[in-house]
Chains A and B, each alone.
Chain A
Amino acid sequence: MKLPSALHRSLRSLSGAPLGRWRFFAVALLTACTSESSSGPNALRLPLINDPILNPVLAPDIGSILINKIIFSALVRPDENLRPVPDLALSWTTSEDGLEYTFNLKPGVKWHDGENFTANDVKFTFDQIRDVKSGSRLGSDFAAVAGVEVIDSLTVRFRLKAPFAPFLALLGYNAGIIPSHKFRDRKLLDATDFSRSTPVGTGPFRVVQAASGSAIVLERNPLYHGAAPALDQVIFRIVPDVNAQVAQLLAGELDIVPIEPANLPSVERAAGVDVVRNPIVQHVYVGFNQQRAIFKSALVRQALDLAVNRKAIIDGVLKGAADMPRGTIPLVLSEFFDPSLPVPSYNPDSARKLLVKAGWRTGDHLMLLDGSGKPFAFTLLVDKGNPTREQAALAVQQDLRRVGIDASIQTLEFATLVRDRVLPGKYDAVLIWWTTPPDPDQFSFYASGQDNNHVRYVNRRVDSLLAAGRATLDSTKRRDIYRQFQREELSDPPVLVLFYPRELLAVNRRLRGLPALGLRDALRHAERLSVAR
Chain B
Amino acid sequence: MTAFLLRRAAHALTVVFVVCTVTFLLVHLAPGGPAVLADPKLTQEEQAAIEERLGLDQPIPVQYGIWISRVARGELGESFLYQVPNRRAIAERLPNTVLLAGSALLLSVLLAVPLGLVSAIHRGGVVDRVVSGVVFLAMAVPTFWLAILAIFTFAVAFPVFPAGGATTAGASGSLVDRLSHLVMPAVVLAAVTTAELLRYMRSSAQTALAQPFIRVARAKGLRERTVAWRHVLRNALVPVVTALGIQLPRLVGGAAITETVFAWPGLGRLGIQAALGRDYPLVMAITLFVSAAVVVVNLLIDVLYLWIDPRIRLEA
Contacts and interface: CB of A to CB of B under 8 A. Distances in A.
B34 interface: yes
Interface string B82-106: 1111001100110010000000000
What is the interface of chain A mostly: helix, strand, loop, or mixed?
mixed
Contacts of A189: 53, 83
Query: What size tier do the contact residues of chain A reach?
Result: 35 or more
A209 B162 CA distance: 21
Contacts of B111: none
Contact of A237 (B34, B82, B169): B169
A193 to B, nearest CB: 9
A263 interface: no
B38 A418 contact: yes
A81 B88 CA distance: 44
B38 A414 contact: yes
A251 B162 contact: yes
B164 A415 contact: no
Nearest to A13: B158
Given A132-B45, A132-B46, A36 B163 contact: no
Nearest to A10: B158
A11 interface: no
Contacts of A233: 170
Contacts of B169: 45, 211, 214-215, 217, 235, 237
A153 interface: no
Nearest to B96: A213
Interface string B152-168: 10011011111111111
Contact of B263 (A238, A415, A432): A238
Interface size class of B (residues with CB under 8 A): 35 or more
A97 interface: no
Interface stretch (B3-11, B124-132, B175-183, B203-211): B175-183
A7 B31 CA distance: 56
A45 B167 CA distance: 14
Contacts of B35: 414-415
Contacts of B168: 32-33, 36
Given A132-B46, A217-B170, A419-B32, A32 B180 contact: yes
Contact of A192 (B34, B50, B83, B167): B83
B32 A416 contact: yes
A44 B207 CA distance: 59
B40 A422 contact: yes
B38 A214 contact: no
B32 A214 contact: no
Given A213-B270, A233-B170, A251-B163, 8 more contacts: A32-B180, A34-B162, A213-B93, A237-B165, A237-B169, A237-B263, A240-B272, A241-B260
9 contacts: A30-B176, A132-B49, A212-B89, A215-B170, A235-B170, A240-B272, A247-B152, A253-B163, A422-B40
Interface of B: 31-46, 49-50, 53, 81-85, 88-89, 92-93, 96, 148, 151-152, 155-156, 158-171, 174, 176-177, 180-181, 260-266, 269-270, 272-273, 277-278
